[in-house]
Amino acid sequence: MEKKTFVSLEQLKKITDQYPTPFHLYDERGIRENAARVRQAFSWNKGFKEYFAVKATPNPFILKILKECGCGCDCSSMTELMLAHALGFSGEEIMFSSNATPASEFQYARKIDATINLDDFTHIQFLENCAGLPETISCRYNPGGLFKISNSIMDNPGEAKYGFTTEQLFDGFRILKEKGVKHFGIHAFLASNTVTNEYYPALAKILFETAVRLKQETGADIRFINLSGGIGIPYRPDQEPNDILTIGEGVRRVYEEVMVPAGMGDVAIYTELGRFMLGPYGCLVTTAVHQKHTYKEYIGCDACAVNLMRPAMYGAYHHITVMGKEDSPCDHKYDITGSLCENNDKFAIDRMLPQIDMGDLLVIHDTGAHGFSMGYNYNGKLRSAEILLKENGEFQLIRRAETPKDYFATFDFCDVLDGMEEIQ
């Protein structure tokens, strides 16, 4: 099966005339349409808000689009908080979910009035000491054990480093309430990249039942429940995609079953989707530059794992389209590689594709989230450009490619590289 690209070969040729490969390309129309579907799926909840996970795609142009679509920001570091604040997201539009958090980051989050989502019981005292406790606070819940849906193990929260235990959560709410916190939220993330419509309703049931107990046993005023992320995308062409409208309806049914009878029908639902919001609406465009015939057939690209590390890091599958050869038979078996000095620098292994000629443009699908953002500079490689394919078919550079000057910029405090005239 073949995934369809959101960009044509003709469009790519126009882009590459101006900007060399590799680069990440994003689909504005797809992003906006998907954000509208998410809003529609949860429109039954008056207080609903999607807090986009900035770590997935930390580009200000993308964040501005999402802001126009009514989204907030889920931040996990100082620089992500700074980015959200600089783009005009107000305090209540920023959720700060961090772990092993430095005091300076809590202090900055308090300064810009972001909603803090505490990861650990000990952070209660730590936050109070370094920045003071706000009137509204959230706590991240980890129920432990295995998380199952229909007897299928989805993930193992008990092995995760995040969140309060059940006992800590109830004690934490009591302590925070005694210390003057007036309003509360609950957050949990129990499984990653689930491709099933059952995940969010199952997670919601756990959180809703916990929220009812918390209200009954601690008297806490619970204002929101944050279902966080975990809704995945079909990286493989034979996978059935999640239906966000079905997911939203599943959460609504559980809400009506658990929350409304408990007198909690005014509690807002929040989400923190990154992969689902952006993943399918980005791709990595690269050019085939070498072909190697040894024990296997290799195609060497001008992109490498520094541009997309998921295949190297996780063995993750990303579909590949050879542009202009979509209808050609996939009768050649290739390893598609980058140029790093690491044997795991492969975008595909033993992948059946059409014959690839040097100069062919390859589109590596589903890199809109956790693609560019996970990049690094190993081997002195430089991060690529990011380009936006606009709704009207035009394209816009939204991040230039790094240069050697960028790579050496952190030595600007001294003269150790003064002899390298080419980077001045």
User: Which active-site residues does the annotation give?
Assistant: 341
C-alpha distances out from residue 315 to 24, 276, 311, 318, Å: 20, 20, 4, 10
Half-sphere exposure of 253 (CA within 13 A, CB side): 10
| Inter-axis angle of helices 166-178 and 123-130, nearest 10 | 30
Best CA proximity match to 16, nearest among 298, 381, 319, 401: 401
> What is the distance between the alpha carbons of residues 212 and 258, in angstroms, rounded to a whole number?
8
> What is the distance between the alpha carbons of residues 12 and 404, in angstroms, rounded to a whole number?
26
Show the DSSP H helices in 360-408 as ranges: 404-407
CB 56 within 8 A of CB 66: no
Total length of the chain: 424
C-alpha distances out from residue 246 to 42, 197, 201, 239, 253, Å: 10, 7, 10, 17, 11
Reading the block at residue 347, the tokens are 């975008």
> What is the distance between the alpha carbons of residues 398 and 127, in angstroms, rounded to a whole number?
36
Distance of CA 60 to the CA centre of its chain: 14
> What is the distance between the alpha carbons of residues 73 and 54, in angstroms, rounded to a whole number?
6
Instruction: Give 270-338 as a DSSP string.
Output: EE--SHHHHGGGEEEEEEEEEEEESSSEEEEES--TTT--HHHHH-----EEETT-TTS---EEEEEE-
| Inter-axis angle of helices 28-41 and 244-258, nearest 10 | 20
Which residue bears the tokens 């809590």?
106
* Pairing relationship of beta strands 72-75 and 49-53 according to DSSP bridges: parallel
Best CA proximity match to 140, nearest among 56, 89, 77, 76: 76
